[in-house]
């Protein structure tokens, strides 16, 4: 059994959107932050070329740069985004992110309603693959990670980056909370491959050795 991970770097903040599939041709989209029809067209082309069936639209958290493309997925595929409802307030008041300057004043299209609320320990299944949800608040209240124990893979959103971690000065952010979340991630096997919301992939082992926020 093989997991295939395709990364698309999208929008002005170079956000990582992932299409994750296995040998059954079923897949999920994680953090579809594409900001225009051209970026979404690249993702659709990849889906069609590889004959993939999208089963879930997943969000690690609900900041604007990670949800921009939810509208396209909902319009074309009929999938509602699945996320942790601790971020519901910022999702329903996205204009606040835009006005604050975080969104650079760029208007977002109307966003689709949220689907399933993902809690700690929830499972997301597609094909022969299962993700376990890990709540990792700090960057926002509703930050979650998707972990495949079988494949030794973690999608960490903006909780953990290569050499760093997510900022905590936005609404719902907490330095104390993110430090506790990083301690939790540090308990995963060192060979766990980490795919984050921005920047390159890394491993838990590398971050425990070199990331100053993980060396605690």
Q: Is the pLDDT of residue 104 over 90?
A: no
Q: Domain of 110? A: 4-210
Write out pLDDT tens, residues 47-68: 999 999 999 999 999 999 999 9
Here the tokens at position 18 are 């992932």
| 149, 132 Cβ separation under 8 angstroms | yes
Q: Is the pLDDT of residue 125 over 50?
A: yes
Q: Is the pLDDT of residue 106 over 80?
A: no
Q: Confirm whether 41 is domain-assigned.
A: yes
- Indicate the average pLDDT of the chain: 94
Q: Which of 113, 205, 132, 213 is nearest to 167 (CA)?
A: 213
Q: Confirm whether 215 is domain-assigned.
A: no
Residue 18: the pLDDT is 98
Q: Confirm whether 216 is domain-assigned.
A: no
Q: Confirm whether 180 is domain-assigned.
A: yes
Q: Confirm whether 188 is domain-assigned.
A: yes
Residue 21 phi, psi dihedral angles, 5° rounding? -135, 170
Q: Is the pLDDT of residue 105 over 70?
A: no
What CATH number did the domain enclosing 21 receive? 3.60.15.10
Q: Which stretch of 30-39, 90-99, 123-132, 144-153 has the lowest confidence by average pLDDT?
A: 90-99
Segment 35-47 shows an average pLDDT of 96
Q: How confident is the model at residue 101 (pLDDT cuts 50, 70, 90)?
A: very low
Q: Confirm whether 162 is domain-assigned.
A: yes
Instruction: Give the strand pairing for 164-165 and 26-30.
Output: unpaired
What pTM was estimated for this model as a whole?
Answer: 0.95
Here the tokens at position 62 are 């609900």
What is the domain count for the chain?
1
Q: Confirm whether 145 is domain-assigned.
A: yes
Residue 193, beta-bridge partner list: 153, 203
């Amino acid at each position: 059994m093989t997991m295939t991970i395709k990364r698309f770097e999208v929008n002005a903040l170079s956000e990582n959107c992932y299409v994750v599939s296995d040998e059954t041709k079923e897949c999920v989209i994680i953090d579809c932050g594409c900001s225009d029809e051209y970026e979404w067209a690249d993702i659709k082309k990849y889906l069609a070329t590889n004959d993939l069936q999208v089963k879930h639209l997943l969000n690690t958290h609900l900041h604007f740069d990670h949800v921009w493309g939810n509208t396209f997925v909902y319009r074309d595929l009929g999938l509602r985004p699945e996320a942790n409802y601790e971020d519901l307030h910022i999702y329903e008041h996205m204009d606040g992110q835009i006005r604050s300057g975080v969104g650079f004043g760029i208007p977002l299209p109307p966003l689709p309603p949220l689907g399933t609320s993902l809690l700690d320990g929830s499972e997301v299944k597609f094909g022969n693959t299962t993700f376990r949800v890990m709540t990792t608040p700090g960057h926002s209240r509703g930050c979650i990670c998707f972990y495949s124990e079988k494949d030794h893979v973690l999608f960490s959103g903006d909780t953990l980056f290569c050499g760093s971690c997510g900022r905590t000065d936005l609404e719902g952010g907490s330095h104390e909370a993110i430090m506790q979340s990083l301690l939790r991630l540090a308990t995963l096997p060192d060979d766990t491959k980490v795919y984050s919301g921005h920047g390159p992939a890394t491993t838990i082992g590398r971050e425990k050795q070199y990331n100053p926020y993980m060396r605690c």
